Amino acid sequence: MTSKERFDMTINHKQPDRIVVDLGGTAVTGIHVLAVENLRKYYGLEARPVRVIEPYQMLGLVDDELIEMMGIDVVGAWGKNNMFGIYNHEPMKELKTFWGQTVLVPEGFNTTYDEKGDLLIHPEGDLSVPASARMPKASYFFDAVIRQEPVDDENLDVQNNLEEFGLITDGELQFWKDAAQNARATGKAVIAGLGGTALGDIALVPGLQMKHPKGIRDIAEWYMSTVLRPDYVRSIFDRQSEIGLENFRRLHEVIGDNIDAVFICGTDFGTQDSTFCAPEQFDELWLPYYRRINDWVHSNTGWKTFKHSCGAVETFMSRFIDAGFDIINPVQVAAKGMDPAHLKNAYGKDLVFWGGGIDTQKTLPYSTPERVREEVLYLCEIFAKDGGFVFNTVHNIQANVPVENIVAMVDAIKEFNGRN
Protein backbone atom coordinates (compact mmCIF):
# COMPACT_ATOMS: atom_id res chain seq x y z
CA MET A 1 0.00 0.00 0.00
CA THR A 2 1.07 3.58 -0.57
CA SER A 3 1.18 6.06 2.29
CA LYS A 4 -1.93 7.75 0.90
CA GLU A 5 -3.85 4.46 0.61
CA ARG A 6 -2.76 3.49 4.11
CA PHE A 7 -3.89 6.84 5.48
CA ASP A 8 -7.26 6.66 3.73
CA MET A 9 -7.98 3.28 5.33
CA THR A 10 -6.78 4.44 8.74
CA ILE A 11 -8.79 7.64 8.77
CA ASN A 12 -11.92 5.67 7.87
CA HIS A 13 -11.38 3.18 10.70
CA LYS A 14 -10.28 0.30 8.52
CA GLN A 15 -7.23 -1.85 9.20
CA PRO A 16 -4.29 -0.87 6.95
CA ASP A 17 -1.24 -3.03 6.22
CA ARG A 18 0.72 -1.09 8.84
CA ILE A 19 0.50 1.91 11.16
CA VAL A 20 0.51 5.35 9.57
CA VAL A 21 3.33 7.54 10.91
CA ASP A 22 3.47 11.33 11.25
CA LEU A 23 6.65 12.93 12.59
CA GLY A 24 6.85 16.57 11.52
CA GLY A 25 3.60 17.18 9.63
CA THR A 26 2.18 19.90 11.89
CA ALA A 27 3.16 22.43 14.56
CA VAL A 28 1.98 19.99 17.25
CA THR A 29 3.46 16.77 15.82
CA GLY A 30 6.95 18.03 15.08
CA ILE A 31 10.58 17.66 16.10
CA HIS A 32 12.84 20.36 17.55
CA VAL A 33 15.64 21.52 15.23
CA LEU A 34 18.33 20.12 17.53
CA ALA A 35 16.70 16.69 17.58
CA VAL A 36 16.39 16.79 13.78
CA GLU A 37 20.11 17.56 13.48
CA ASN A 38 20.95 14.73 15.88
CA LEU A 39 18.83 12.33 13.83
CA ARG A 40 20.62 13.33 10.63
CA LYS A 41 23.96 12.66 12.30
CA TYR A 42 22.79 9.30 13.64
CA TYR A 43 21.62 8.13 10.23
CA GLY A 44 24.84 9.29 8.58
CA LEU A 45 23.22 11.96 6.42
CA GLU A 46 25.07 14.97 5.05
CA ALA A 47 25.86 17.59 7.68
CA ARG A 48 24.01 20.81 6.87
CA PRO A 49 22.00 23.42 8.79
CA VAL A 50 18.44 22.36 9.58
CA ARG A 51 15.70 24.65 8.39
CA VAL A 52 13.37 26.02 11.09
CA ILE A 53 9.86 25.27 9.83
CA GLU A 54 8.01 26.64 12.90
CA PRO A 55 10.08 29.24 14.78
CA TYR A 56 7.90 29.80 17.86
CA GLN A 57 8.69 26.28 19.08
CA MET A 58 11.86 26.01 16.94
CA LEU A 59 10.65 22.94 15.10
CA GLY A 60 12.84 21.62 12.33
CA LEU A 61 11.97 20.57 8.79
CA VAL A 62 11.87 16.79 8.52
CA ASP A 63 13.25 16.51 5.00
CA ASP A 64 12.85 13.81 2.36
CA GLU A 65 15.89 11.86 3.55
CA LEU A 66 14.58 11.57 7.10
CA ILE A 67 11.06 10.85 5.85
CA GLU A 68 12.48 7.83 4.04
CA MET A 69 14.71 6.74 6.92
CA MET A 70 11.93 6.97 9.50
CA GLY A 71 9.09 5.53 7.43
CA ILE A 72 6.89 8.64 7.59
CA ASP A 73 3.53 8.62 5.78
CA VAL A 74 2.22 12.16 6.38
CA VAL A 75 3.62 15.51 5.25
CA GLY A 76 2.45 19.02 5.98
CA ALA A 77 1.48 21.75 3.56
CA TRP A 78 2.77 24.88 5.26
CA GLY A 79 1.48 28.41 4.87
CA LYS A 80 3.10 31.53 3.47
CA ASN A 81 3.99 33.23 6.76
CA ASN A 82 5.09 31.92 10.14
CA MET A 83 3.75 32.69 13.62
CA PHE A 84 5.50 36.06 13.59
CA GLY A 85 4.02 37.20 10.28
CA ILE A 86 7.33 36.67 8.46
CA TYR A 87 7.48 35.09 5.00
CA ASN A 88 8.61 31.57 5.89
CA HIS A 89 10.30 30.37 2.71
CA GLU A 90 13.32 31.00 0.49
CA PRO A 91 15.62 32.87 0.64
CA MET A 92 17.09 31.64 3.93
CA LYS A 93 19.91 32.80 6.16
CA GLU A 94 21.89 31.20 8.97
CA LEU A 95 21.21 31.83 12.67
CA LYS A 96 23.52 30.69 15.48
CA THR A 97 21.44 29.51 18.44
CA PHE A 98 22.21 29.78 22.14
CA TRP A 99 22.86 26.02 22.25
CA GLY A 100 25.50 26.28 19.52
CA GLN A 101 23.53 24.97 16.55
CA THR A 102 23.50 26.83 13.24
CA VAL A 103 20.01 26.73 11.71
CA LEU A 104 18.31 28.21 8.66
CA VAL A 105 15.64 30.89 9.10
CA PRO A 106 13.89 33.07 6.51
CA GLU A 107 15.62 36.22 5.37
CA GLY A 108 13.08 38.44 7.16
CA PHE A 109 13.70 36.74 10.52
CA ASN A 110 15.17 39.83 12.20
CA THR A 111 16.17 39.68 15.85
CA THR A 112 17.65 41.82 18.59
CA TYR A 113 18.89 41.17 22.13
CA ASP A 114 17.64 42.63 25.39
CA GLU A 115 19.69 43.76 28.39
CA LYS A 116 19.82 40.18 29.69
CA GLY A 117 21.12 38.87 26.41
CA ASP A 118 17.83 37.12 25.55
CA LEU A 119 16.90 36.87 21.88
CA LEU A 120 13.96 39.00 20.73
CA ILE A 121 11.88 38.48 17.59
CA HIS A 122 9.75 41.25 16.10
CA PRO A 123 6.40 40.98 14.27
CA GLU A 124 6.87 40.88 10.50
CA GLY A 125 10.60 41.21 11.19
CA ASP A 126 10.12 44.94 11.78
CA LEU A 127 12.76 46.11 14.26
CA SER A 128 11.05 49.49 14.67
CA VAL A 129 8.21 47.94 16.74
CA PRO A 130 8.40 46.17 20.11
CA ALA A 131 9.31 42.49 20.16
CA SER A 132 6.46 39.99 20.29
CA ALA A 133 8.45 37.01 21.62
CA ARG A 134 11.57 36.29 23.63
CA MET A 135 13.94 33.33 23.75
CA PRO A 136 15.81 33.27 27.10
CA LYS A 137 19.47 32.33 26.86
CA ALA A 138 18.83 29.04 28.64
CA SER A 139 15.81 28.15 26.49
CA TYR A 140 15.31 26.26 23.23
CA PHE A 141 12.21 28.09 21.98
CA PHE A 142 10.38 31.42 22.20
CA ASP A 143 7.91 32.71 24.79
CA ALA A 144 5.26 35.28 23.92
CA VAL A 145 5.80 38.85 25.07
CA ILE A 146 2.43 40.06 26.34
CA ARG A 147 1.59 43.47 24.94
CA GLN A 148 -1.81 43.93 26.51
CA GLU A 149 -3.19 47.46 26.45
CA PRO A 150 -5.45 48.55 29.32
CA VAL A 151 -8.82 46.83 29.11
CA ASP A 152 -11.81 49.15 29.05
CA ASP A 153 -14.90 46.97 29.41
CA GLU A 154 -17.16 49.84 28.44
CA ASN A 155 -15.49 50.16 25.04
CA LEU A 156 -14.44 46.64 24.10
CA ASP A 157 -14.56 46.22 20.32
CA VAL A 158 -14.85 42.72 18.89
CA GLN A 159 -13.02 43.87 15.76
CA ASN A 160 -9.84 44.30 17.82
CA ASN A 161 -9.70 40.56 18.42
CA LEU A 162 -10.46 39.85 14.78
CA GLU A 163 -7.76 41.97 13.18
CA GLU A 164 -5.67 38.91 12.24
CA PHE A 165 -8.65 36.99 10.83
CA GLY A 166 -9.31 38.71 7.53
CA LEU A 167 -10.34 37.32 4.17
CA ILE A 168 -7.62 35.48 2.30
CA THR A 169 -5.85 37.34 -0.52
CA ASP A 170 -5.36 36.15 -4.10
CA GLY A 171 -1.65 35.83 -3.43
CA GLU A 172 -2.26 33.61 -0.42
CA LEU A 173 -4.68 31.47 -2.44
CA GLN A 174 -2.06 30.91 -5.11
CA PHE A 175 0.53 30.08 -2.46
CA TRP A 176 -1.73 27.47 -0.87
CA LYS A 177 -2.59 26.01 -4.26
CA ASP A 178 1.10 25.47 -5.00
CA ALA A 179 1.92 24.22 -1.48
CA ALA A 180 -0.87 21.64 -1.56
CA GLN A 181 0.08 20.45 -5.05
CA ASN A 182 3.72 20.06 -4.02
CA ALA A 183 2.75 18.14 -0.89
CA ARG A 184 0.42 15.86 -2.84
CA ALA A 185 3.19 15.14 -5.35
CA THR A 186 5.19 13.41 -2.60
CA GLY A 187 2.72 10.51 -2.61
CA LYS A 188 2.16 10.95 1.12
CA ALA A 189 -0.97 11.89 2.99
CA VAL A 190 -1.22 15.66 3.44
CA ILE A 191 -2.35 17.76 6.40
CA ALA A 192 -2.57 21.55 6.35
CA GLY A 193 -3.14 24.24 8.93
CA LEU A 194 -5.11 26.68 6.77
CA GLY A 195 -5.66 29.05 9.69
CA GLY A 196 -8.52 31.30 10.64
CA THR A 197 -10.48 28.91 12.86
CA ALA A 198 -8.40 29.06 16.04
CA LEU A 199 -11.28 29.84 18.46
CA GLY A 200 -9.15 30.91 21.39
CA ASP A 201 -5.98 28.94 20.73
CA ILE A 202 -3.84 30.36 23.51
CA ALA A 203 -0.67 30.32 21.39
CA LEU A 204 -2.37 32.76 19.01
CA VAL A 205 -4.18 35.03 21.46
CA PRO A 206 -1.15 37.35 22.04
CA GLY A 207 -1.07 38.20 18.32
CA LEU A 208 2.62 37.48 17.77
CA GLN A 209 2.44 38.55 14.13
CA MET A 210 0.80 41.88 14.89
CA LYS A 211 2.72 45.09 15.44
CA HIS A 212 0.18 46.67 17.80
CA PRO A 213 -2.35 44.06 18.94
CA LYS A 214 -5.53 45.37 20.52
CA GLY A 215 -8.36 43.68 22.36
CA ILE A 216 -7.85 40.87 24.89
CA ARG A 217 -4.24 39.74 24.35
CA ASP A 218 -3.02 38.74 27.80
CA ILE A 219 -3.31 34.96 28.28
CA ALA A 220 -4.65 35.19 31.83
CA GLU A 221 -7.08 37.92 30.79
CA TRP A 222 -8.33 35.74 27.92
CA TYR A 223 -9.00 32.78 30.21
CA MET A 224 -10.87 35.07 32.60
CA SER A 225 -12.81 36.53 29.69
CA THR A 226 -14.31 33.14 28.82
CA VAL A 227 -16.06 33.40 32.21
CA LEU A 228 -16.40 37.15 32.76
CA ARG A 229 -17.04 38.25 29.16
CA PRO A 230 -18.65 35.23 27.45
CA ASP A 231 -20.79 37.37 25.14
CA TYR A 232 -17.69 39.17 23.90
CA VAL A 233 -15.87 35.87 23.29
CA ARG A 234 -18.97 34.41 21.60
CA SER A 235 -19.11 37.40 19.25
CA ILE A 236 -15.46 36.87 18.34
CA PHE A 237 -16.02 33.15 17.65
CA ASP A 238 -19.14 33.88 15.61
CA ARG A 239 -17.43 36.32 13.27
CA GLN A 240 -14.15 34.38 13.20
CA SER A 241 -15.86 31.16 12.13
CA GLU A 242 -17.84 33.07 9.49
CA ILE A 243 -14.66 34.52 8.01
CA GLY A 244 -12.85 31.20 8.37
CA LEU A 245 -15.50 29.30 6.44
CA GLU A 246 -15.50 31.85 3.63
CA ASN A 247 -11.74 31.37 3.43
CA PHE A 248 -12.17 27.58 3.46
CA ARG A 249 -14.62 27.92 0.57
CA ARG A 250 -12.11 29.93 -1.45
CA LEU A 251 -9.26 27.61 -0.50
CA HIS A 252 -11.18 24.48 -1.43
CA GLU A 253 -11.73 25.90 -4.91
CA VAL A 254 -7.96 25.95 -5.50
CA ILE A 255 -6.78 23.11 -3.22
CA GLY A 256 -9.51 20.56 -3.83
CA ASP A 257 -8.48 17.10 -2.68
CA ASN A 258 -4.77 17.87 -2.57
CA ILE A 259 -5.01 17.81 1.23
CA ASP A 260 -6.49 15.01 3.31
CA ALA A 261 -6.85 16.63 6.72
CA VAL A 262 -7.18 20.19 7.98
CA PHE A 263 -5.96 21.44 11.34
CA ILE A 264 -9.01 23.24 12.71
CA CYS A 265 -8.07 24.42 16.18
CA GLY A 266 -5.33 24.07 18.79
CA THR A 267 -7.24 25.32 21.83
CA ASP A 268 -6.25 23.21 24.84
CA PHE A 269 -9.01 22.10 27.19
CA GLY A 270 -6.99 19.96 29.59
CA THR A 271 -4.34 20.21 32.26
CA GLN A 272 -2.39 17.24 33.57
CA ASP A 273 -5.16 16.39 36.02
CA SER A 274 -8.35 18.11 34.92
CA THR A 275 -9.95 20.42 32.37
CA PHE A 276 -9.78 24.19 31.94
CA CYS A 277 -13.54 24.51 31.91
CA ALA A 278 -16.66 22.54 32.74
CA PRO A 279 -18.20 20.42 29.98
CA GLU A 280 -21.26 22.67 30.09
CA GLN A 281 -19.15 25.73 29.32
CA PHE A 282 -17.64 23.90 26.35
CA ASP A 283 -21.16 23.16 25.14
CA GLU A 284 -22.19 26.80 25.38
CA LEU A 285 -19.08 28.62 24.20
CA TRP A 286 -17.21 26.37 21.75
CA LEU A 287 -19.42 23.52 20.57
CA PRO A 288 -21.76 25.51 18.28
CA TYR A 289 -18.85 27.05 16.36
CA TYR A 290 -16.89 23.82 16.09
CA ARG A 291 -20.02 22.13 14.75
CA ARG A 292 -20.54 24.94 12.24
CA ILE A 293 -16.99 24.56 10.93
CA ASN A 294 -16.93 20.77 10.87
CA ASP A 295 -20.36 20.52 9.24
CA TRP A 296 -19.26 22.81 6.43
CA VAL A 297 -16.03 20.89 5.86
CA HIS A 298 -17.83 17.54 5.77
CA SER A 299 -20.61 18.83 3.51
CA ASN A 300 -18.34 20.53 1.00
CA THR A 301 -14.96 18.77 1.00
CA GLY A 302 -13.31 15.40 1.42
CA TRP A 303 -11.08 16.71 4.20
CA LYS A 304 -10.97 15.22 7.69
CA THR A 305 -10.92 17.65 10.62
CA PHE A 306 -8.12 17.64 13.20
CA LYS A 307 -8.57 18.94 16.76
CA HIS A 308 -5.59 19.46 19.06
CA SER A 309 -6.06 19.49 22.81
CA CYS A 310 -3.53 18.51 25.42
CA GLY A 311 -4.33 17.15 28.84
CA ALA A 312 -6.95 15.18 30.71
CA VAL A 313 -9.82 15.55 28.24
CA GLU A 314 -11.50 12.15 28.50
CA THR A 315 -14.70 13.85 29.65
CA PHE A 316 -14.65 15.96 26.49
CA MET A 317 -14.19 13.10 24.01
CA SER A 318 -17.91 12.59 23.44
CA ARG A 319 -18.24 16.35 22.96
CA PHE A 320 -15.46 16.38 20.35
CA ILE A 321 -17.46 13.69 18.56
CA ASP A 322 -20.67 15.73 18.88
CA ALA A 323 -18.82 18.73 17.47
CA GLY A 324 -17.98 16.71 14.37
CA PHE A 325 -14.23 16.28 14.75
CA ASP A 326 -12.70 13.30 12.98
CA ILE A 327 -9.30 13.41 14.68
CA ILE A 328 -8.06 14.15 18.20
CA ASN A 329 -4.44 14.94 18.99
CA PRO A 330 -2.15 14.41 20.90
CA VAL A 331 -3.83 11.78 23.16
CA GLN A 332 -1.91 12.56 26.36
CA VAL A 333 -1.88 9.03 27.76
CA ALA A 334 -0.12 9.99 31.03
CA ALA A 335 -2.79 12.54 31.99
CA LYS A 336 -5.54 11.69 34.46
CA GLY A 337 -8.29 9.52 33.01
CA MET A 338 -6.56 9.09 29.65
CA ASP A 339 -6.17 5.32 29.83
CA PRO A 340 -5.38 4.20 26.26
CA ALA A 341 -7.43 0.99 26.35
CA HIS A 342 -10.48 2.86 27.66
CA LEU A 343 -10.10 5.61 25.06
CA LYS A 344 -9.85 3.12 22.22
CA ASN A 345 -12.79 1.05 23.43
CA ALA A 346 -15.04 3.99 24.22
CA TYR A 347 -14.27 6.40 21.39
CA GLY A 348 -12.17 4.56 18.81
CA LYS A 349 -15.05 3.92 16.43
CA ASP A 350 -15.70 7.65 16.06
CA LEU A 351 -12.37 9.40 16.66
CA VAL A 352 -9.01 8.86 15.02
CA PHE A 353 -6.26 9.06 17.65
CA TRP A 354 -3.37 11.01 16.12
CA GLY A 355 -0.63 10.73 18.71
CA GLY A 356 -0.34 8.87 21.97
CA GLY A 357 2.37 6.57 20.63
CA ILE A 358 4.77 7.35 23.45
CA ASP A 359 4.85 9.66 26.47
CA THR A 360 7.05 12.71 25.80
CA GLN A 361 7.12 13.95 29.39
CA LYS A 362 8.96 11.04 30.96
CA THR A 363 9.50 7.96 28.81
CA LEU A 364 10.98 9.41 25.63
CA PRO A 365 13.36 11.93 27.24
CA TYR A 366 14.34 10.06 30.39
CA SER A 367 13.95 6.28 29.95
CA THR A 368 16.20 3.75 28.27
CA PRO A 369 15.87 2.73 24.61
CA GLU A 370 14.51 -0.64 25.73
CA ARG A 371 11.82 1.02 27.85
CA VAL A 372 10.96 3.25 24.88
CA ARG A 373 10.59 0.16 22.70
CA GLU A 374 8.32 -1.54 25.23
CA GLU A 375 6.00 1.47 25.56
CA VAL A 376 5.72 2.00 21.82
CA LEU A 377 4.84 -1.66 21.22
CA TYR A 378 2.32 -1.62 24.08
CA LEU A 379 0.53 1.53 22.89
CA CYS A 380 0.56 0.52 19.23
CA GLU A 381 -1.04 -2.79 20.18
CA ILE A 382 -3.91 -0.91 21.79
CA PHE A 383 -4.44 1.95 19.37
CA ALA A 384 -3.76 0.27 16.02
CA LYS A 385 -6.58 -2.28 16.13
CA ASP A 386 -9.18 -1.69 13.39
CA GLY A 387 -7.41 1.43 12.11
CA GLY A 388 -8.12 4.87 13.48
CA PHE A 389 -4.56 5.50 14.71
CA VAL A 390 -1.82 7.73 13.30
CA PHE A 391 1.42 7.26 15.20
CA ASN A 392 2.88 10.37 16.73
CA THR A 393 4.36 11.15 20.09
CA VAL A 394 2.43 12.98 22.81
CA HIS A 395 3.21 16.44 21.39
CA ASN A 396 6.47 17.63 19.83
CA ILE A 397 9.83 15.92 20.37
CA GLN A 398 11.93 18.35 22.39
CA ALA A 399 15.52 19.50 21.94
CA ASN A 400 17.49 17.32 24.31
CA VAL A 401 15.72 13.99 23.90
CA PRO A 402 18.49 11.36 23.49
CA VAL A 403 18.73 10.47 19.82
CA GLU A 404 19.06 6.80 20.77
CA ASN A 405 15.58 6.99 22.29
CA ILE A 406 14.08 8.58 19.18
CA VAL A 407 15.69 5.89 17.03
CA ALA A 408 14.41 3.21 19.44
CA MET A 409 10.92 4.64 18.95
CA VAL A 410 11.25 4.53 15.16
CA ASP A 411 12.66 1.01 15.25
CA ALA A 412 9.82 -0.14 17.51
CA ILE A 413 7.25 1.16 15.02
CA LYS A 414 9.01 -0.76 12.25
CA GLU A 415 9.11 -3.83 14.47
CA PHE A 416 5.40 -3.58 15.12
CA ASN A 417 4.79 -3.16 11.41
CA GLY A 418 6.87 -6.24 10.64
CA ARG A 419 9.41 -4.25 8.69
CA ASN A 420 12.48 -4.75 10.86
Tens-digit pLDDT profile for residues 307-351 = 999 999 999 999 999 999 999 999 999 999 999 999 999 999 999
Percent of the chain scoring above 90 in pLDDT: 99
Identify the bridge partners of residue 52 per DSSP, sorted by sequence position.
60
Identify the bridge partners of residue 21 per DSSP, sorted by sequence position.
391
- When pLDDT is averaged across residues 218-231 and rounded to a whole number, the result is 97
Mean pLDDT of the residues in the chain:
97
Residues 358 and 393 sit within 8 Å (Cβ to Cβ): yes
CATH number reported for the structural domain that contains residue 354 in this entry: 3.20.20.210
Q: Has residue 420 got a pLDDT over 90?
A: no
Q: Please check whether residue 9 lies inside any domain of the structure.
A: yes
Q: Please check whether residue 372 lies inside any domain of the structure.
A: yes
Q: Has residue 358 got a pLDDT over 90?
A: yes
Q: Please check whether residue 94 lies inside any domain of the structure.
A: no
Q: Please check whether residue 124 lies inside any domain of the structure.
A: no
Residues 74 and 22 sit within 8 Å (Cβ to Cβ): yes
Q: Please check whether residue 130 lies inside any domain of the structure.
A: no
Q: Which residue range forms the structural domain that includes residue 286?
A: 3-88+150-416
pTM of the model: 0.97
Q: Please check whether residue 141 lies inside any domain of the structure.
A: no
Q: Please check whether residue 125 lies inside any domain of the structure.
A: no
Q: Please check whether residue 345 lies inside any domain of the structure.
A: yes
| Count of the separate structural domains present in the chain | 1
Q: What is the pLDDT of residue 283?
A: 97
Residue 419 confidence class, pLDDT cut points 50, 70, 90: low
